[in-house]
A and B are shown apart, each in its own frame.
Chain A
Amino acid sequence: MLNLKLKGKKLACYVSAFCLLAALTSFAHGGYILTKAHFAQFLLNKAWQQQTVEDNLGNSNKVKPWPWADIYPVAKLSFDRFNITQIVLNNDSGQALAFGPGLNRINITNIKSESSSVFVISAHNDTHFSILSELQLNDSVTLTLKSGRSQTFKVSNTAIMDIKTDQLVLFNNYGYRERKPFIKELVLVTCYPFHSVNDESTLRYIVYLS
Chain B
Amino acid sequence: MKDTISVTPTQSQLTAIITWVLIAYLITIVKVTAQELTIENIPYQDISSGSLYFKSDEGYFPALTQNSDYQVSVNGLLARVNFTQTFKNSSDDFLEAVYAFPLIDDAAVDSMVMEIGERRIIGKIKEKHQAQKLYKKAKKQGKKVSLVSEQRPNLFTTKLANIAPGETIKISLSYLQSITLNDETFSLRIPLTLTPRFIPSVNGNNISSNISPKSKEIDKEKKNTNDGVNTTKINVHGWALNNARVIDASEITPFQTRRETFNKHESENQQQTVTLAINLNTILPLTDVLSRYHRIDKTQFNDKLSISLSDSKILLNQDFVLQWKLAQGETPKAAFFQQSDYISGSMPNHEGYHYGLLMLMPPKQVYAQAINKDVIYIIDTSGSMGGVAIRQAKQSLITALDLLNSHDSFNIISFDDDTHSLFSLSKLANVDNIKKAKHWLSNLKAGGGTNMYPAIEQALQSAQNENSYRQVIFITDGSVGNEAELFSLIDRNLANTRLHTIGIGSAPNGYFMSQAAKIGRGTYRYIGNINEVKEQMTTLFNQIGKPLMQDIKLTWPVAQVETFPEHLPDLYSGQPLLVSARWQKGVDKDIKQVIRVSGTLASTAWQEQVDITKEKKQAVNGDSSQNTSDNGVAQWWAKQKINHLSLLQRRSSTQIKTEIKAQITQLALKHHLVSPYTSFIAIEEKVSRNQNKTLKSEGIKNLMPKGSTQIIPLANTALGVLGYFYFSLLLIVVAIFLRLLTRNDFEKSC
A167 touches B256 (CB 8 A): yes
CA distance A200 to B736 in the complex (A): 31
CA distance A176 to B246 in the complex (A): 11
CA distance A105 to B259 in the complex (A): 25
B748 nearest CB neighbor, chain A only: A5
B203 touches A195 (CB 8 A): no
- Interface set, chain B 538-552, CB cutoff 8 A to A: none
Of A50-58, A67-75, A140-148, A185-193, the one with at least 4 CB within 8 A of chain B: A185-193
A97 neighbours in B (Cβ, 8 Å): 715, 717
Of B44-52, B83-91, B122-130, the one with at least 4 CB within 8 A of chain A: B44-52
CA distance A201 to B652 in the complex (A): 53
B720 touches A173 (CB 8 A): no
| Interface band, chain B | 35 or more
B4 touches A170 (CB 8 A): no
A12 touches B713 (CB 8 A): no
Partner of B722, one of A126, A157, A174, A208: A126
A24 touches B244 (CB 8 A): no
Q: Given contacts A97-B715, A196-B34, is CB(A12)–CB(B249) below 8 Å? A: no
- Interface set, chain A 89-136, CB cutoff 8 A to B: 92-94, 97, 102, 104-106, 109-110, 113, 115, 117-118, 122-127, 129
B44 touches A169 (CB 8 A): no
B728 neighbours in A (Cβ, 8 Å): 22-27, 30
B724 in the interface, Cβ–Cβ < 8 Å? Answer: yes
A199 neighbours in B (Cβ, 8 Å): 716, 718-720, 723
B727 nearest CB neighbor, chain A only: A26
CA distance A84 to B247 in the complex (A): 38
CA distance A29 to B725 in the complex (A): 9
Q: How many whole Å from A99's CB to the nearest CB in chain B?
A: 12
A192 neighbours in B (Cβ, 8 Å): 36, 44
Q: Given contacts A19-B731, A27-B724, is CB(A125)–CB(B243) below 8 Å? A: no
Partner of B44, one of A25, A106, A203: A203
Q: Given contacts A12-B741, A126-B722, A162-B48, is CB(A157)–CB(B236) below 8 Å? A: yes
A189 nearest CB neighbor, chain B only: B714
B714 touches A156 (CB 8 A): no
A12 touches B742 (CB 8 A): yes
Count: A-B pairs, CB below 8 Å: 238
CA distance A30 to B235 in the complex (A): 38
A92 nearest CB neighbor, chain B only: B715
B723 neighbours in A (Cβ, 8 Å): 30, 196-199
Partner of A11, one of B4, B196, B240, B719: B4
B50 touches A104 (CB 8 A): no
B272 in the interface, Cβ–Cβ < 8 Å? Answer: no
B203 touches A174 (CB 8 A): yes
A25 nearest CB neighbor, chain B only: B728
Q: Sorted from nearest, which 4 A-B pairs have the closest CB atoms? A: A30-B724, A199-B720, A23-B731, A197-B723
A-B contact pairs, 30 of them (CB 8 A): A15-B1, A19-B731, A20-B735, A22-B728, A23-B730, A27-B724, A30-B725, A104-B715, A122-B717, A125-B718, A162-B44, A164-B45, A165-B258, A166-B49, A167-B711, A169-B253, A171-B253, A172-B202, A174-B202, A174-B203, A174-B243, A175-B244, A190-B717, A191-B718, A193-B34, A196-B720, A197-B34, A199-B716, A199-B723, A200-B718
**18 more CB-based (< 8 A) A-B contacts, given A104-B713, A170-B241:** A9-B742, A12-B741, A15-B738, A20-B735, A23-B729, A26-B724, A26-B727, A104-B714, A106-B713, A122-B715, A123-B717, A165-B260, A174-B201, A185-B241, A192-B36, A195-B34, A197-B722, A204-B717
